[in-house]
Protein backbone atom coordinates (compact mmCIF):
# COMPACT_ATOMS: atom_id res chain seq x y z
CA UNK A 1 0.00 0.00 0.00
CA UNK A 2 1.50 3.35 -0.96
CA UNK A 3 0.79 6.63 0.83
CA UNK A 4 -1.85 7.67 -1.64
CA UNK A 5 -4.00 4.66 -0.76
CA UNK A 6 -3.97 5.34 2.97
CA UNK A 7 -7.15 7.44 3.16
CA UNK A 8 -9.13 4.71 1.39
CA UNK A 9 -7.49 2.03 3.54
CA UNK A 10 -8.35 3.90 6.74
CA UNK A 11 -11.95 4.33 5.63
CA UNK A 12 -12.24 0.69 4.63
CA UNK A 13 -10.74 -0.52 7.89
CA UNK A 14 -12.93 1.60 10.16
CA UNK A 15 -14.96 -0.92 12.15
CA UNK A 16 -16.98 1.38 14.39
CA UNK A 17 -18.41 4.87 14.21
CA UNK A 18 -15.63 6.68 16.10
CA UNK A 19 -12.95 5.14 13.93
CA UNK A 20 -15.00 5.85 10.79
CA UNK A 21 -15.33 9.49 11.78
CA UNK A 22 -11.63 9.70 12.57
CA UNK A 23 -10.84 8.13 9.20
CA UNK A 24 -13.22 10.54 7.45
CA UNK A 25 -11.55 13.44 9.18
CA UNK A 26 -8.17 12.29 7.94
CA UNK A 27 -9.50 11.65 4.46
CA UNK A 28 -10.92 15.15 4.15
CA UNK A 29 -7.64 16.62 5.40
CA UNK A 30 -5.79 14.51 2.89
CA UNK A 31 -7.95 15.58 -0.04
CA UNK A 32 -7.56 19.18 1.05
CA UNK A 33 -3.78 18.91 1.11
CA UNK A 34 -3.72 17.00 -2.15
CA UNK A 35 -5.79 19.60 -3.99
CA UNK A 36 -3.90 22.53 -2.55
CA UNK A 37 -0.64 20.96 -3.63
CA UNK A 38 -1.96 20.55 -7.17
CA UNK A 39 -3.70 23.92 -7.59
CA UNK A 40 -0.79 25.86 -9.00
CA UNK A 41 -0.45 23.45 -11.92
CA UNK A 42 -4.16 22.78 -12.32
CA UNK A 43 -4.62 24.98 -15.40
CA UNK A 44 -8.21 24.83 -16.59
CA UNK A 45 -9.04 22.51 -13.68
CA UNK A 46 -8.38 25.32 -11.20
CA UNK A 47 -12.07 26.14 -10.61
CA UNK A 48 -12.84 22.49 -9.87
CA UNK A 49 -9.78 22.16 -7.62
CA UNK A 50 -10.46 25.23 -5.50
CA UNK A 51 -14.14 24.47 -5.10
CA UNK A 52 -13.45 20.86 -4.19
CA UNK A 53 -10.82 21.99 -1.69
CA UNK A 54 -13.39 24.26 -0.04
CA UNK A 55 -15.78 21.30 0.11
CA UNK A 56 -13.05 19.19 1.72
CA UNK A 57 -12.48 21.82 4.40
CA UNK A 58 -16.23 22.03 4.97
CA UNK A 59 -16.42 18.25 5.26
CA UNK A 60 -13.66 18.23 7.84
CA UNK A 61 -15.42 20.98 9.78
CA UNK A 62 -18.62 18.95 9.74
CA UNK A 63 -16.92 15.84 11.03
CA UNK A 64 -15.21 17.78 13.77
CA UNK A 65 -18.59 18.54 15.34
CA UNK A 66 -19.63 14.87 15.46
CA UNK A 67 -20.08 13.77 19.09
CA UNK A 68 -18.51 10.36 18.47
CA UNK A 69 -15.33 11.68 16.93
CA UNK A 70 -12.44 10.78 19.26
CA UNK A 71 -11.10 13.89 20.98
CA UNK A 72 -7.50 13.19 20.17
CA UNK A 73 -6.44 12.83 16.60
CA UNK A 74 -3.94 10.29 15.45
CA UNK A 75 -0.85 11.20 13.50
CA UNK A 76 -1.70 12.89 10.21
CA UNK A 77 -1.42 10.90 7.01
CA UNK A 78 1.77 11.37 5.04
CA UNK A 79 1.59 14.25 2.57
CA UNK A 80 0.15 13.41 -0.85
CA UNK A 81 2.59 12.42 -3.51
CA UNK A 82 1.26 14.88 -6.06
CA UNK A 83 1.20 14.27 -9.79
CA UNK A 84 -0.51 15.52 -12.94
CA UNK A 85 -3.74 17.46 -12.32
CA UNK A 86 -5.98 14.82 -13.86
CA UNK A 87 -4.47 12.10 -11.67
CA UNK A 88 -4.97 14.24 -8.58
CA UNK A 89 -8.56 14.90 -9.62
CA UNK A 90 -9.20 11.18 -10.18
CA UNK A 91 -7.74 10.28 -6.82
CA UNK A 92 -9.58 12.95 -4.85
CA UNK A 93 -12.83 12.10 -6.64
CA UNK A 94 -12.42 8.44 -5.68
CA UNK A 95 -11.88 9.37 -2.05
CA UNK A 96 -14.95 11.61 -2.19
CA UNK A 97 -17.06 8.76 -3.54
CA UNK A 98 -15.85 6.38 -0.84
CA UNK A 99 -16.37 8.98 1.89
CA UNK A 100 -19.94 9.54 0.83
CA UNK A 101 -20.67 5.84 0.85
CA UNK A 102 -19.03 5.16 4.20
CA UNK A 103 -20.56 8.13 5.98
CA UNK A 104 -23.98 6.66 5.28
CA UNK A 105 -23.16 4.30 8.15
CA UNK A 106 -23.72 7.13 10.59
CA UNK A 107 -27.43 7.30 9.74
CA UNK A 108 -29.64 6.88 12.78
CA UNK A 109 -26.92 7.80 15.25
CA UNK A 110 -26.30 10.96 17.22
CA UNK A 111 -23.74 11.80 14.54
CA UNK A 112 -26.14 11.65 11.63
CA UNK A 113 -26.43 15.41 11.10
CA UNK A 114 -22.71 16.17 10.88
CA UNK A 115 -22.20 12.97 8.93
CA UNK A 116 -24.92 13.89 6.45
CA UNK A 117 -23.37 17.31 5.99
CA UNK A 118 -19.94 15.76 5.52
CA UNK A 119 -21.36 13.25 3.05
CA UNK A 120 -22.77 16.18 1.06
CA UNK A 121 -19.31 17.72 0.96
CA UNK A 122 -17.82 14.41 -0.18
CA UNK A 123 -20.43 14.18 -2.93
CA UNK A 124 -19.52 17.66 -4.08
CA UNK A 125 -15.83 16.72 -4.23
CA UNK A 126 -16.72 13.79 -6.44
CA UNK A 127 -19.04 15.83 -8.63
CA UNK A 128 -16.43 18.51 -9.16
CA UNK A 129 -13.49 16.26 -9.83
CA UNK A 130 -14.70 13.03 -11.42
CA UNK A 131 -14.57 12.76 -15.21
CA UNK A 132 -17.90 13.72 -16.76
CA UNK A 133 -18.75 10.13 -17.69
CA UNK A 134 -18.09 8.94 -14.14
CA UNK A 135 -20.56 11.16 -12.31
Residue 132 touching another protein (CB under 8 A)? yes
Q: How far is the CB of 108 from another protein (least distance, A)?
A: 20
Asked whether the CA dihedral 54, 99, 97, 76 is positive or negative, the reply is positive
What are the backbone angles phi and psi of residue 3, rounded to the nearest 5°? -60, -35
Q: Taking CB under 8 A as the rule, which mask of x and - marks residues 89-128 in contact with another protein?
A: x---x-----------------------x---------xx
Residue 97: how many other CB atoms lie within 10 Å: 20
- Of residues 42-61, which lie at the interface with another protein (CB under 8 A)? 43-48, 50-51, 53-54, 57-58, 60-61
Residue 37 touching another protein (CB under 8 A)? no
Give every CB contact of residue 101 below 8 A, 6+ residues apart in sequence.
none
Amino acid sequence: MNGDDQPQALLAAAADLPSLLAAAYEAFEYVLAELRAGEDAAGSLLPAFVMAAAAAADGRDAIITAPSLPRASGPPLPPPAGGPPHDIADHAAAIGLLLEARLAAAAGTADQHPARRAAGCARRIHQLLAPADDR
